[in-house]
Amino acid sequence: MPQPPDRRVHLSLVIAAVVLAGAAGAAAIALIGGRWVTPAAATEVPTASAAAAAHAVTVPPTFAPAPSHTVQQIMVGLVDPAADGIWNSAGAIVTATSDETWAPSTDTDWERLEGHARALARGADALVDPVRVNGRDDWAVPARALRTASAAALRAAQRRDTSAIYAASEQLLDACQQCHKHYWLPTEIAP
């Protein structure tokens, strides 16, 4: 009797889906203008120092990709956390009663943002490794776009240019979406 096909889902795929879903949820909240704020929270206006402390730039990942790492391991260990660090480094939530904006404000924040950009570049370099590309332009083009976005984020961080961070974040989002149109988790619907 033939055996049914193995349909196990790897833990790294599940983790990647959770990370991407979290980033998509944060982006959705930012896009709808913070309308999910509770009435009590909407009346509280955070001070500038409280808002900056709440949105300090996270520590960049230290994962060092090797040829033996899978794409999922590179995404979960390096690309996703670095991209999230860039996306979450600057932003705004605007409601009818308050505006909250945040951006790197200390030398440590800017240095961490540089670290996220460098980590993202390492991940992009690992993804464009000829072993992974293997003649597939639909793989190589967005991986190169990811490298370009990481370079833009690094320049923005080095110049301490908040508006350039927003532009690099958009470039990064485009690169990710370009890739995920072709390559997505088997249990999820592509964006």
What's the pLDDT score for residue 56?
A: 79
Alpha-carbon distance of 87 to 6, in angstroms, equals: 36
List CB contacts of 33: < 8 A, sequence separation 6 or more: 93, 94, 95
Residue pair 166/122 in contact by the 8 Å Cβ criterion: no
Report residue 28's pLDDT band, with 50, 70 and 90 as the boundaries.
very low
**Crossing angle for the helix pair 107-127 and 80-87, to the nearest 10 degrees:** 140
Report residue 189's pLDDT band, with 50, 70 and 90 as the boundaries.
low
What's the pLDDT score for residue 45?
A: 42
- Name the average pLDDT for the chain: 77
Would you list the DSSP string of 47-108? -HHHHHHHTPPPPPP-----TTS-HHHHIIIIIHHHHHHHHTTSEEEE-SS-EEEE---SHH
Tens digits of per-residue pLDDT, 139-171?
A: 888 889 999 999 999 999 999 999 999 999 999
What's the pLDDT score for residue 190?
A: 54
Residues of the chain above pLDDT 90, percent: 41
Report residue 115's pLDDT band, with 50, 70 and 90 as the boundaries.
very high
Residue pair 60/84 in contact by the 8 Å Cβ criterion: no
Determine if the pTM surpasses 0.85: no
Alpha-carbon distance of 120 to 83, in angstroms, equals: 7
List CB contacts of 118: < 8 A, sequence separation 6 or more: 60, 150, 154
Report residue 172's pLDDT band, with 50, 70 and 90 as the boundaries.
very high
